[in-house]
Each structure stands twice: as C-alpha cells, then as structure tokens.
Amino acid sequence: MIHLSPNGLIAAKGRKGHSLEMIDGEALFLAGQMATHIYLVEIGTLQVFPPRSAVPLRRYDQYELIGIPEVLAGKAWPVTALARGKTQVRIFPAECLTDRMAEIPANSVKFLRHLSQLCD
C-alpha cells in the first residue's frame, strides 16, 4: 500500500491532473483495461475486485494512491475499482510518474521497475 500525504507527488507536480466525482458503485476502471493513469483518493473509498468476484480484494481510502505498479509495468489492470459512497479521485496521467522518476537515482528507478514486475 502506498499512502500519500498531500505534500507528496501532487504538490511536487503542481497538482497536475483533475478530479472526478463518483457515485456509489461507479467503476473507475475495469479489469483488462490498460493502466494509463494513477489515482489519488481525495474523498471517500475505492474497493478493488478481482474479475468475476463480488468479494473485495482491498480498499483505498483518503490520500491513498492506486496504480503506480501497474503504470510502471505498462500492464492492464488485474482488478476492477468501484466507488463506495460518494467518492472523489484525482487523476494523474502516467507522465506525472515518469517525469518524477527522472529526478531520482537510476538504481532506485531500476528497483521500482523490478518491484512493479512482481505485482502479477
């Protein structure tokens, strides 16, 4: 789990991205779609579900990020994310992450990319 304070990636990138207000049960993304964005839960909760399952795998609450490993790996989402109650997420294109990674040491980037491959 990656838990982010408001002074993390968002502040560093000048709050790039836009917010999306969601209603209960609305899907943010579906299993099988390419992971091209990172999401920050600003208000409410997202739950992720494996394909063909009604049992949530995990939940993401306020100030939690979802999508870094999937975006780094350039893969499709293995899960579906649904809003629970009124939820607002900030959407960041993958470039926000890749631009930020250009500022960290090469060995750290290599390590993060390796970790992202372990998410299967």
What per-residue confidence (pLDDT) applies to 110?
Answer: 66
The CA distance from 46 to 88, in Å, is 9
What per-residue confidence (pLDDT) applies to 10?
Answer: 41
38 Cβ neighbours under 8 A, 6+ residues apart: 9, 65, 66, 67, 68, 71, 91, 92, 94, 96, 97
Task: Say which DSSP state 33 is in.
Answer: S
What per-residue confidence (pLDDT) applies to 116?
Answer: 57
What per-residue confidence (pLDDT) applies to 8?
Answer: 40
What per-residue confidence (pLDDT) applies to 73?
Answer: 84
Low-confidence ranges of the chain (pLDDT < 50): 1-15
Q: What is the DSSP string of 55-113?
A: S-SEEE-TTEEE-HHHHHHT-B-SSEEEEEEEEEEEEEEHHHHHHHHTTS-HHHHHHHH
What per-residue confidence (pLDDT) applies to 71?
Answer: 87
What per-residue confidence (pLDDT) applies to 113?
Answer: 63
What per-residue confidence (pLDDT) applies to 115?
Answer: 60
